[in-house]
Amino acid sequence: MPQGDPSDYQRSFGFLLYDAARLLRRDFDRRARTIGLTRAQWSVLAHLSRNEGINQVGLADILDIEPITLVRLLDRLEESGWVERRPHPTDRRVYTLYITAKAWPVIDQIRALAAETRATALAGVAPADRALLVELLARIRANLSERPEPDQAPAPRAAQDA
């Protein structure tokens, strides 16, 4: 079975995307440790800050973790005073999640650290190339998640069947 050039995998789309994401997480994790956050904690806070009012099952889905795993994380974040669970207005079995006033300065720090990581990752990349990269990644994400791109409305059903 022919193997090809061993360095070919280092130029493959999947490998590069995976490895770049891994290195971004590693760089950000290193920065986040300076403010005492684990990956799980900063990830919950970052996603919740963009989705306040979501329920626990919805947030677990976004984070791609099991709901029971999220419950334990939320317990610790709630004990720290960073997250608040509120009863759902119409379903007594469900709690909605909110960031507390105490957590917003931490989220501001997370965002600043993310900007540092982004600047490191994109050093030497021209602004036009950065914009194109973001556009292409959004398109890839939409293709894989079967969601339309943010500025693209779903095609009418008749057009999809054509």
Per-residue pLDDT, 145: 87
- Kindly provide the residue ranges of all beta strands, DSSP E only, lying in the chain, ordered along the sequence: 83-87, 95-99
Give CA separation, 138 vs 37, 123, 149, in Å: 28, 21, 6
DSSP state of 80: T
Per-residue pLDDT, 4: 58
pTM of the model: 0.74
- Domain ranges within the chain, ordered by starting residue: 12-123
- 116, 76 contact by CB (below 8 A): no
∠ CA 115-22-129 to the nearest 5 degrees? 55
Per-residue pLDDT, 80: 93
Averaged in consecutive runs of 10 residues, what is the pLDDT profile of the chain (162 residues)?
60 91 95 90 94 94 93 94 93 92 95 96 97 95 75 46 40
The CATH fold of domain 12-123 = Arc Repressor Mutant, subunit A (1.10.10)
